[in-house]
Every structure is written in C-alpha cells, then in structure tokens.
Chains A and B, each alone.
Chain A
Amino acid sequence: MGKTRTLTGTFLAVAALTVTGCGGGGTPSTETASAPADPGSASGTITVLTQRTDLIKNGAMKAYAAEFNKVYPKIEVKFEGLTDYEGEVKIRMNTDEYGDVLMIPAAVAKNDYPKFFAPLGSSIEMADKYRFSDKSEVNGKTYGIAQFGTANGFVYNKALWKKAGITDWPASPEEFLADLKAIKAKTGSVPYYTNFKDGWPLVQWSANIGSVTCDAEANNKLAGPVSPWKPGSELRVIDTLLFDIVEDGLSEKDPSTTNWEASKSKLAKGEIGSMMVGSWAISQMRDAAEQAGGNPDDIGYMPVPVQREEGQCSTLVSDYQQAVNIHSDHKEAARAWIDWFTEKSGYSVKEGAVPTLKSAPMPDTLKEFVDNDVTFVERSEAKTGTVNDIDNAAEIGLNKPDYRQKLVDIARGAQKGSAESYFTELNKKWDDAAKTIGS
C-alpha cells in the first residue's frame, strides 16, 4: 500500500511537471496574408478545414478546387471535413496544426483573433468591399471574410397559408398569431414547428436581433447592463412571440421528440405551416419539397412580423468567416483560395445565400423580400466580443438553445414560471454579468 502511494505521488508530480510544460500558444504576428500578385507563380499545398462534409462527400469541393486550379495552377488545395466542426477545431487550435484556411470557430474570443489568424487587410478597405467584415475586426485589422451571409425570417408553406385564407404577410405579432390560429382551425396542420429537440433551430430566433427595430446597431447595444428583455426590446418581442405561439398550442404537440430532417419534408408537404430558420434553409426546403413530391414553389419566406415606418426588416448576418492560420507556411496561397472561393466560385449563389461581396446581387431565394421592399439590415458585429463575454459569463447563451428550450417549457407548462418572471430572471443575470465584465 505504501509503495502504491509513493508511486501515485510520483505520477502526480510528473503530471504537474507536464502541465507546466504545455502552456504555450501562438505569438502575435503582424504579417498580412495578402493575395499573390501573380496567380501563375503562387504555389504550395494548403489544407482547408470545413464543416461541409456533405460537399466533400459529393465531390462539390473537389470541383471547386479544380476550377480554382485553372487560375492558380501551382496551388494544391486539400479539404478536411469535420462533422463536429466547432468541437474539433477548438481543440486543435491548442496546437499549430489547424489547417491553412479555416472557419473561425464561435468559441474563439474576438480579442484573441490576432493570436490565431493572420490579418487579411485593414478593416476600412475590407469594409468597402465586403459585407460582415466588422465581425472579425480587431484593432483596425480584419481577420476573416464571410463565406456568405443569411437573411432572417420564417420559412412557410405558401399553399397551406393560402388554404387557410391568408395571402398577406402578417404585420404584427398579433396578426401572426391570428394567422397561425386560422391555419390550425382550417387545415389541421401544425402551424409552427419549434424543432425543440434539435435545439439549434431555436437559436435562429436570436439572429433576428435587429429585425424588430430595423436597427443595425441592435446587437452592439447589448454590450452592457441593458436588461435585454425589457419591454419593447428586440429580444422581448421575439421571445414573447415564441412564448405565445407555444402557450396558445400553435406548435407541435410533443416538442421533446422533434426531428429536423423529417420537419423539412413535413413543411414541404404542408403538414407544418412555418418555421424560424435562416434563408440558407430555403434551398434545402425546396429540395425536400421536390423529393417529397411537392411543389418547390410552395416554399415561401417572410420577415419577422413587425411593421415599421421603414417597412418590414430582415437582418443580414454573417455565416462562418474564413481565416488564415497564423502558423501557415503558405499564407499567400491560403488568401488566394479565400478570395477566389468568396468571389468567383459561385458558392453563395449555389447555396442561395447573401453574397459577401457588396457588389453582387441578392439571390433568387430572397426574391420575395426584394419584391416586397423588405429592408435588409446589415447588422453590425463591432461589439460582438463584449456581448459574447457577457453572454458566457451570465450562462444564458443567446446563441445556444438552452434558455429558449426553458422558455418553451414554461410556455407549455412543463416548468414553473411565467414569461414575465423568466424575462426578469434573464435581465438580472445579464445585468449582473455585464457588471462583472466591467466593460
């Protein structure tokens, strides 16, 4: 027994030594990853980390790389698809080996960007050319270029809504609820589907911060003890709408066993009336409609039901941002890939998404929005770093499903409380956390 103890002691000592040995990290570098001046001579092998395993599997990525090689013949592009992108990349970022090009994981604090990624240019220049560039701006330099962006709103089944006698978009939350009631009464379909079990579709509601008041600064305004759920605020309006939908029984009967993949074809077939998802989902829904033998044109998209003087608004938010690993040996080649992929590959058009390039037109999927004069609010992300810090410190998770799952639970009576008491609790958590962050 005594021997075992000394042995354990030795191991712990060894462990402690090892621990002190691995506190390393990246050293900040100011070298800008700029695109090569001469495409023909740029060379190197670069690895691109991506979350789109589906595009790797069906060969789409390889096809993009082949196109890319027509311009940059000497750059070889390799792809690495990661199913659990966030989780895996986050751990790999403790080493130097996290590809040459990668999507910036949400977990990385904005102020740490210069420690992990090579700067791509001055933020003023980048902002002229690209949307969403302030999302990755630190001290006047931009570290990421968005793959594309999404507009936000509800995807809905037009045919079903017409069947319930509704032709116009609702202009207020009350009208939206009345429409959902009409759908339930006249068609028997599920008017709204929460996708509670999968969780992330509930997160989509947060993307609408800014849609309610048409304020591009809406997200930045959360950076402080501002009680984000106070009456009339963005979050109060959208979370109350969700709460009322569930409380009035306008959502699916058993939210705890929902299924995202199945919900797509249910919406296409008119068994579900509407869902809150980003505009990236429109093309997926249309595919699902085709597969289910429905009509892809039945899939419609509408903004958050709040009418203001400016009309209805829809926020544009950035998808993953592409960055260059600060430890990469081929920063030029990496930058060349990012630029080409963002601007010339046709990726965003294919995905039906909002292009990163300011000069490019809106996609077909958002034709309805353009036709109905929906105002696109390009949401500023300048203070996202602070907002995320407060959010994490408060353990609320604006971009995590948990707090909305609880909201839905309260609304359907599965947990104690009321909307009012819950909003008060959230406000308190947020404000307390904001004070400790000290802004």
Chain B
Amino acid sequence: MTETTEAVSVRTHRATPQRRGPSATGAGPRTGGGRGRLLRRATPWLFLVAPLALLITFTYVPVGNMLYYSFTDWDGISPDRNFTGVDNYVQIFTRPELFRVFFVSFYYLAASAFQIVIALYFATVLSFDLRFRNLFKGLLFFPYLINGVAIGFVFLYFFQDGGTLDTVLSWFGQDPDHAWLGDPESANTSLAGVSVWRYTGLNFVLFLGAIQSIPGELYEAAQLDGATKWDQFRHIIAPSIRPVLSLSVILAVSGSLAVFEIPWIMTGGATGTSTFVIQTVKLAFQFNKTGLASAAAVVLLLIVLLITWIQRRLVPDEKVDLV
C-alpha cells in the first residue's frame, strides 16, 4: 500500500460518522444512523439497477413508444407525425380484412393441440425405462435447437415440387403430384406441420421434466394395486403435471396468434398464409403505416392478455399435492 492510498483511507475513516456501538458480529453495516438505514434500504435497489435499466430500456420504453405511435399517423421515417386519436383502432375494428387473417391462426391452434398430445405421449413413454431412451429424447428435442430461419429453408426444399416429401412418398408408390405450398389449405397445413415439428421438442422437455419429478414409489404402489399404464397416466401423471400442461396451453394459444417466422420465410405470407403478425409487419414496413401497425400490435397484445386471463380463470393454478 502506498502512502497516498493510506492517507485516503484514513480520511474516509474520519469522514464516517461515529458508530453508535459495535455490532455483535462485526459484520453489520459500517455506517450507522439514518444514512445506514437508507443505504440498507437502497441496497436491493442498487443490485436491481442493472436489470431494471435493461428492462426499462428494452421493454417498457419500446412498449411506451409503440402505444404512442398507435395514436399517430407516423410513417416510420418522417420527422413529422400527427396525432390522430383512436383512428387507427377504429380502422382495425372496422376493416374486416385486417381481422380475417386470424382464421389462419386456427391451423396453428389445431396443430398445437396435436403437438401437445404427441409431446405428452412421448414424454410419458420415455419417462419409463426404455431402450435407447436418451437417443429418442435427443431426437425429439433436436429440432427445437435449430435456428428458425434454417428450418424455413430446409422445409422449403422438403415441400418443393419433386422435393424430399414427394421423393419419400414415391418410395411408397404414391405420386400425389401436388404443390404443397401451392393452395391456401395445404400451404397452411404444411406450415403448421413444420411448426409442430419444431416445437414438439420444447413441450416434450417441459413435460418430461415435470413427469420425472414424480416420486417413483407412486408407480410401484400403483402397480401393486394393479393399475395399468393408462391408469397410472390418468391418476398419477396427468394431475401432477397440470401446471406445466396449462402453461403449455397458454403458450400454444398465444403462439398460434402470433405465428411469424415460419410462414414469413417459407411463403412471405403469399397464397393465404399471411398471419396477423405478418400483416402487421407489412403494414409497418411495406406501406409505411407505422401508426396503424403499432395499433395492430397493441390489439394483439391485448388479445393475448385477455385469453391468458380467461384461461387462468377457467383453470386456476392449484397446488399439486401428490401424497
């Protein structure tokens, strides 16, 4: 320690007010009095400064901006913007074509119901002792690890005329000669299929985690009582993973309403595959209606919040009590 730093430390010591008394352990705050209490109160906030700054900068400020834009006619680039009141919201609710895209979400909603069922099935099966169990787990989870853009491109080749799907079908003597992304129905079904392929792994892992937290004795006891595998699923597994199940359903519903990257990359919203988010992006960045697009985004947010709220009311979050 050099002289100067020593001097500094001495000075700081002098600057601190007198202690009221030695703390019992010596580990208490060095400063006492009102300032000490203030500091103690402020400590959690000091720790929170970084995360709060990030949260405010990257979540609340953009959301606030979006809300503000939604009441203007801003084109996303001009320095001038006019306040137009609720005009954008009126437009969204009075132009049926803006809401029609929500029908596309039903394809994804149906797909996610299917997705939850398979994920549940595999999670249940693979939670029991099985040969190559880890291999299957890996296979199921793998698609979720791949970048969504890459998936889009891969499946573009998969579905193209004479592509992988057609080739595989031809091995079985099938020759559908069908442009899979060519008409709205098969295009949406195909895209929803891709989304199932991608997200099953996530649901699967969530379910698997929940199932594996069930104590093994329960199965043994059930087996002794003569319960079949189905009985075990119905009375042990299903009730104990209910919170995770309901979380998955919420995620599935909000995800279906906000589908974006798969149809955006694979079809760009052509041939009736446009979803609400794609439409919003197009309004904002193709037609320079940032104000209207912000309003659409706010509406989507409110719809998702509403659905979540309704669902929480219907299926309240109960404590799971296994034993």
Tell which of B64, B65, B80 has the most Cβ of chain A within 10 Å. Answer: B64
**Which residue of chain B is the closest to A14 with respect to CB atoms?**
B56
* A256 near B179: Cβ-Cβ < 8 Å: yes
* B64 near A257: Cβ-Cβ < 8 Å: no
Contacts of A107 in B (CB 8 A): 75-77, 285, 288
* A108 near B77: Cβ-Cβ < 8 Å: yes
* B287 near A397: Cβ-Cβ < 8 Å: yes
* B140 CB–A CB distance under 8 Å: no
Q: How far is the CA of A103 from the CA of B282 in the complex (A)?
A: 22
Q: How far is the CA of A107 from the CA of B156 in the complex (A)?
A: 30
Contacts of B269 in A (CB 8 A): 402
* B182 CB–A CB distance under 8 Å: yes
* A415 near B272: Cβ-Cβ < 8 Å: yes
* B65 near A19: Cβ-Cβ < 8 Å: yes
Partner of A256, one of B55, B79, B270, B286: B270
Interface string of B149-184 (1 = CB under 8 A from A): 000000011011101000000000000000111111
Q: How far is the CA of A329 from the CA of B64 in the complex (A)?
A: 34
Q: A256-B182, A392-B288, A414-B271 are in contact. Are A402 and B76 (CB under 8 A)?
A: no
* B236 CB–A CB distance under 8 Å: no
**Which residue of chain A is the closest to B183 with respect to CB atoms?**
A414
- B175 CB to nearest chain A CB (Å): 14
**Which residue of chain B is the closest to A20 with respect to CB atoms?**
B68
Contacts of B161 in A (CB 8 A): 253-254, 257
- A413 CB to nearest chain B CB (Å): 8
* A241 CB–B CB distance under 8 Å: no
- B294 CB to nearest chain A CB (Å): 12
Q: How far is the CA of A105 from the CA of B271 in the complex (A)?
A: 28
Interface residues in A5-45 by Cβ distance below 8 A to B read 11-12, 14-16, 18-19, 22-26
* B61 CB–A CB distance under 8 Å: yes
* B76 near A197: Cβ-Cβ < 8 Å: no
* B309 CB–A CB distance under 8 Å: no
* B56 near A11: Cβ-Cβ < 8 Å: yes
* B78 near A109: Cβ-Cβ < 8 Å: yes
- A124 CB to nearest chain B CB (Å): 27
Q: How far is the CA of A404 from the CA of B239 in the complex (A)?
A: 52
Q: A90-B76, A115-B79 are in contact. Are A392 and B289 (CB under 8 A)?
A: yes
Q: A90-B77, A108-B77 are in contact. Are A197 and B60 (CB under 8 A)?
A: no
- A125 CB to nearest chain B CB (Å): 28
* A415 near B184: Cβ-Cβ < 8 Å: yes
* B271 near A405: Cβ-Cβ < 8 Å: yes
* A401 near B268: Cβ-Cβ < 8 Å: yes
* B77 near A256: Cβ-Cβ < 8 Å: no
* A419 CB–B CB distance under 8 Å: no
Contacts of B286 in A (CB 8 A): 397, 400, 402
* B19 CB–A CB distance under 8 Å: no
Q: How far is the CA of A25 from the CA of B80 in the complex (A)?
A: 8
Interface residues in B256-272 by Cβ distance below 8 A to A read 267-272
Interface residues in B68-104 by Cβ distance below 8 A to A read 68, 75-81
- B35 CB to nearest chain A CB (Å): 24
* A199 CB–B CB distance under 8 Å: yes
**What does DSSP make chain A's interface, helix, strand, loop or mixed?**
loop
Contacts of A14 in B (CB 8 A): 56, 60-61, 64
Interface string of A237-272 (1 = CB under 8 A from B): 000000000000000011111000000000000000
Contacts of B289 in A (CB 8 A): 392, 395
* A196 near B270: Cβ-Cβ < 8 Å: yes
Q: A15-B63, A15-B64, A23-B81 are in contact. Are A395 and B76 (CB under 8 A)?
A: no
Q: How far is the CA of A402 from the CA of B56 in the complex (A)?
A: 37
* B160 near A94: Cβ-Cβ < 8 Å: no
Contacts of A254 in B (CB 8 A): 160-161, 179, 181-182
Q: How far is the CA of A18 from the CA of B61 in the complex (A)?
A: 7
Q: How far is the CA of A94 from the CA of B78 in the complex (A)?
A: 8
* B245 CB–A CB distance under 8 Å: no
Interface string of B267-297 (1 = CB under 8 A from A): 1111110000000001101111100000000
Contacts of B68 in A (CB 8 A): 16, 19
- B186 CB to nearest chain A CB (Å): 10
Tell which of B160, B268, B272, B287 has the most Cβ of chain A within 10 Å. Answer: B287
Contacts of A108 in B (CB 8 A): 77-78
Partner of B270, one of A11, A15, A112, A402: A402
Contacts of A378 in B (CB 8 A): none
Contacts of A402 in B (CB 8 A): 269-270, 282, 286
* B111 CB–A CB distance under 8 Å: no
Tell which of A18, A105, A115, A253 has the most Cβ of chain B within 10 Å. Answer: A18
Partner of B65, one of A15, A24, A25: A15
* B163 near A257: Cβ-Cβ < 8 Å: yes
* A253 near B79: Cβ-Cβ < 8 Å: no
* A87 CB–B CB distance under 8 Å: yes
* A15 near B77: Cβ-Cβ < 8 Å: no
Q: How far is the CA of A254 from the CA of B176 in the complex (A)?
A: 13
Q: How far is the CA of A260 from the CA of B181 in the complex (A)?
A: 17
* A437 CB–B CB distance under 8 Å: no
* A234 CB–B CB distance under 8 Å: no
- B82 CB to nearest chain A CB (Å): 12
Q: A109-B75, A199-B270 are in contact. Are A18 and B287 (CB under 8 A)?
A: no
Partner of A414, one of B55, B78, B184: B184
Q: A109-B75, A402-B270 are in contact. Are A256 and B187 (CB under 8 A)?
A: yes
Partner of A26, one of B79, B272, B283: B79
Q: How far is the CA of A16 from the CA of B81 in the complex (A)?
A: 16
A-B contact pairs, 26 of them (CB 8 A): A16-B68, A18-B61, A22-B65, A90-B77, A93-B77, A94-B77, A107-B76, A107-B285, A108-B77, A109-B75, A109-B78, A112-B80, A115-B78, A197-B267, A197-B268, A199-B270, A254-B181, A256-B182, A256-B271, A392-B288, A392-B289, A393-B287, A395-B283, A402-B269, A405-B270, A405-B271
Interchain residue pairs A-B with the least CB separation, the first 9: A25-B79, A15-B64, A257-B160, A254-B161, A256-B181, A254-B179, A405-B270, A11-B60, A414-B183
Residues of B near any A CB (own CB < 8 A): 55-56, 60-61, 63-65, 68, 75-81, 156-157, 159-161, 163, 179-184, 187, 267-272, 282-283, 285-289
Residues of A near any B CB (own CB < 8 A): 11-12, 14-16, 18-19, 22-26, 87, 90, 93-94, 105, 107-109, 112, 115, 196-197, 199, 253-257, 392-393, 395, 397, 400-402, 405-406, 409, 412-415
